[in-house]
Amino acid sequence: MQLFWTFLKIGLFSIGGGYAIIPLIQEQVVHQQGWLSEKVFADIITISQMTPGPIAVNTSTFVGMQINGVLGAVVATIGCILGGCVISISLYQFFQQHQESIYVAAALKSLKASSVGLIMSAGFTILLLTFFGTSELSSGLLAHFDWQSALLFGVALVILRKFKPNPIVLMCLAGFIGFLIY
Amino acid sequence: MTKLKLYSWLAGINLFISAFTFGGGYVVVPMIRKYYVEKKALFTNDELMEMAAVAQSSPGAIAINLSVLAGKKVAGMLGVLISAICSIIPPLVILGLISNWYAAFAANQTIMAILKGMQACVTALIIDIVIDMYQLIREERSSLLNALVPLAFIANVFFNLNVIYILFISIGICLVHTYAQQRKEV
């Protein structure tokens, strides 16, 4: 039950997604509940980046698993996604129902525009990570330029723009090339 | 498409997409576009952008929120349930399996190499969809909306402004703008 509440809270307060919410999870799971040590938490973040699925979901699964086995994992994960699902559905319904209102329409348009900007910044962060192996902006950045990854990225982007292939096939292909070159 | 076929397609596609959500969740947006918009024409690019905006503005993982919204759009509440369950199964299973020997997994060179290749591809996927989405915004022919995209980007990347402030501020700006325009017309 404690697991469920903690992850419901994490889910509810993690606006922005991705890497931004790591400190929040850390605060709850490591400092407040003491379920994991700093070391194990750092490992989980590494694992979460390596396995599919959103980081919050992965962390909740992992923590739940460590504490209470499969049941714990399921409970923690459901807690984690419940708030977001309910809120996003209600918010979407609200926008649908009030489409005629010019103010609601304006609000939705502004959200669309700024969320494109935010997806752009997520793209920028992962671009830095791909090109330089770090997402921190610093002066020594260029020294770590990884031309192989940059090339792979460039080729993948050109293929995407030109041929619109199946993204999953392209990802498998890129994984295979990674296996060959790194 | 019959109901049953739609449900099983939805289940399958969510399992599939979720199993390939590397790199923080945003890659779900191009995936949903590929399967729901381009292949099945279940909704339009513009509707996808609305859903992505709402998923982004709500708490929780954008990947899950977006899958659930897409599920709702194509198959109602049952679609929500199917999408939610199917998109958490792959991470649950995979993490469940590796949680016992994760240290060995994290140190494995082969896995690292494959993931590095995939990461380059995820980056390309996200940049690709950002280009397309920005073009859609430009089609609105509103200089205010056009400006919001780079502003949100700069505020987030260079000033580390919290996402929630960015969203609220941009809503505020647009509401004031709409109000001013209304006044002018009256």
The percentage of residues in chain A with a pLDDT greater than 70, rounded to a whole number, is 93
Q: Note the pLDDT of residue B153.
A: 92
**Chain B residue whose CA is closest to A68:** B96
Q: What was the ipTM of the complex prediction?
A: 0.85
Backbone angles phi, psi at A130, to 5 degrees: -70, -45
Tens digit of pLDDT for each residue in B68-117?
999 999 999 999 999 999 999 998 888 877 767 776 777 788 888 888 88
Q: Note the pLDDT of residue B12.
A: 94
Q: Which residue in A43, A107, A115 is closest to B52 by CB distance?
A: A115
What is the overall mean pLDDT for chain B? 88
B contacts of A54 (beta carbons < 8 Å): 21, 24-25, 61-64, 91
pTM over 0.90? The answer is: no
Place of tokens 């503005």: B57
DSSP A26-77: HIIIIIIS--S-HHHHHHHHHHHHHSSS-HHHHHHHHHHHHHHHHHHHHHHH
Tens digit of pLDDT for each residue in B52-62?
999 988 888 88
Domain boundaries, chain A: 2-97, 109-181
d(Cα B65, Cα A168) in Å, to the nearest integer? 20
d(Cα B30, Cα B6) in Å, to the nearest integer? 21
Residue length, chain A?
Answer: 182
CB distance A70 to A78 below 8 Å:
no
CA of A36, closest CA in chain B: separation in Å? 13
Domain boundaries, chain B: 3-139, 141-186
Beta-carbon separation of A130 and B120 below 8 A:
yes
Q: Note the pLDDT of residue B175.
A: 92
Among A17-31, A108-122, B20-34, name the one with the lowest average pLDDT. Answer: A17-31
Beta-carbon separation of A167 and B110 below 8 A:
no
In A99-158, the residues whose Cβ lies within 8 Å of chain B are 102-103, 106-127, 129-130, 149, 152-154, 156-157
Name the amino acid, one letter, at A41.
Answer: F
Q: For residue A155, is pLDDT > 90?
A: yes
CB distance A53 to B18 below 8 Å:
yes
Task: Choose, out of A21, A24, A48, A120, the residue to mutate when testing the contact with B (most B CBs < 10 Å).
Answer: A120
CA of A4, closest CA in chain B: separation in Å? 14
d(Cα A161, Cα A159) in Å, to the nearest integer? 6
CB distance B116 to A175 below 8 Å:
no
d(Cα A118, Cα B56) in Å, to the nearest integer? 9
Cβ burial, residue B93 (10 Å; 0-12/13-18/19+): middle
Tens digit of pLDDT for each residue in A16-53?
655 666 777 888 888 888 888 888 787 777 777 777 87
d(Cα A111, Cα B170) in Å, to the nearest integer? 7
For residue B170, the SS3 value is: helix
